[in-house]
Amino acid sequence: MEITRESIRRDLRNLGVVEGDVVLVRAGLKAVGVVDQANFLDALLDAVEPRGTVASLAFTRGGLAWQASKISPYTLDSVSYAGALPNMMIAHPHSHRSLHPQCSIVAIGKHAQQLTDGHGPHSRAYEPVRKLIALKAKMLLVGCVSSSPGFTTVHLAEADLGLHRRRIAPWLAISRYVDEHGVIHTFYRTDPGLCSKPFWKFYAAYVKSGHLTTGLVGKAYSICAPAAECYAIEREILANNKRFAVCDSADCVVCNALRWDRIHRWPAFLLGRLLRNRTH
């Protein structure tokens, strides 16, 4: 069956996306199977318009402090590493993008300006997620449920619980940005996100609570859930078990070398890296 703009819109309806919704979307567009990837964004907008809003993470990479002179300053046109969808949205004539040098979001629709205004270099990284919660937004993963698991509400829950303070030397990773006067500044992030690889661990709690909807969008396995309810679940779990969102990978730098509460893993981590490098 041919995957079209209209068939994608129907699939989104079956997942629970309706007119007027505010939706935060992350997507692996190749998994959807559309020939023209722009059809996916058009279908999203079709599904929520005229009163709805589509948002996506438009994150950009920083670098190490001693690489500052080689880092391109962040601007509203900076390319996001988060995939084709946010970059298509950045290029859209009606999009709004926030000014945070590393964790910007991009949005199109009724609440786009509200979601992005005030989120800049002096803001907490995940504050737009709080706005999404207040707007009763839904969160949608399309074709990246396993490769980029979980919802960004987890990062907000971690920040609200102070778990980002467990990150070692966050100031080593910096960005640059251009202010409204055209002056370039260095950005030192103080509230880094922790590892997102284990966010799949929350899936069982979403299912148990009855808040997770699953289905196909095109050929892509996809999930949808309400932001407010997911945030409440994640915050409760993390409050009771502050190491719940730690991954099991022996190669993960964040979980094995950049958390104060995992500093005891340094010897095994460094030895493992040394041995693996020698075998290659």
Rounded percentage of the chain residues whose pLDDT exceeds 70: 97
**Res 273 pLDDT > 80:** no
Where does the pLDDT of residue 257 fall: very low under 50, low under 70, confident under 90, or very high at 90 and above? confident
Q: For residues 62-75, give the mean pLDDT.
A: 88
Residues 6+ apart with CB under 8 A from 36: none
What is the residue whose two structure tokens read 């819109």? Answer: 9
Contact 193, 204 (CB under 8 A): no
92-126 b/e (C-beta count within 10 Å ≥ 16 → b): beebbbbbbbbbbbbbbbbbbebbbeebbbeebbb
**Res 216 pLDDT > 90:** yes
Distance CA 54, CA 21 (A): 8
Question: Phi then psi for 218, rounded to 5 degrees?
Answer: 65, -125
The gap from C-alpha 220 to its chain's centroid, in whole angstroms, comes to 19
Contact 86, 106 (CB under 8 A): yes
Start-to-end CA distance of the chain, whole Å, equals 45
Where does the pLDDT of residue 173 fall: very low under 50, low under 70, confident under 90, or very high at 90 and above? confident
What is the residue whose two structure tokens read 């199109």? Answer: 108
Beta strands across the sheet bearing 105-109: 95-97, 105-109, 53-57, 22-27, 138-142, 220-226, 213-217
Q: For residues 158-169, give the mean pLDDT.
A: 94
Where does the pLDDT of residue 68 fall: very low under 50, low under 70, confident under 90, or very high at 90 and above? confident
Structure confidence at residue 170 (pLDDT):
85
Q: pLDDT tens digits, residue range 100-153?
A: 999 999 999 999 999 999 999 999 999 999 999 999 999 999 999 999 999 999
Where does the pLDDT of residue 278 fall: very low under 50, low under 70, confident under 90, or very high at 90 and above? low
Where does the pLDDT of residue 276 fall: very low under 50, low under 70, confident under 90, or very high at 90 and above? low
Could you tell me the maximum CA-CA distance found in the chain, to the nearest angstrom?
Answer: 58
| Helix then strand then coil, % of the chain, to nearest 5 | 45, 20, 40
> What integer best gives the mean pLDDT of the chain?
93
| Phi-psi sector, 259: left (phi>0), alpha (psi -120 to 50), beta | beta
Q: pLDDT tens digits, residue range 26-49?
A: 999 999 998 788 999 999 999 999
Element (H, E) at 225: strand 220-226
Structure confidence at residue 266 (pLDDT):
79
Query: 157 vs 118, 119, 179, CA distance in Å?
Result: 20, 18, 29
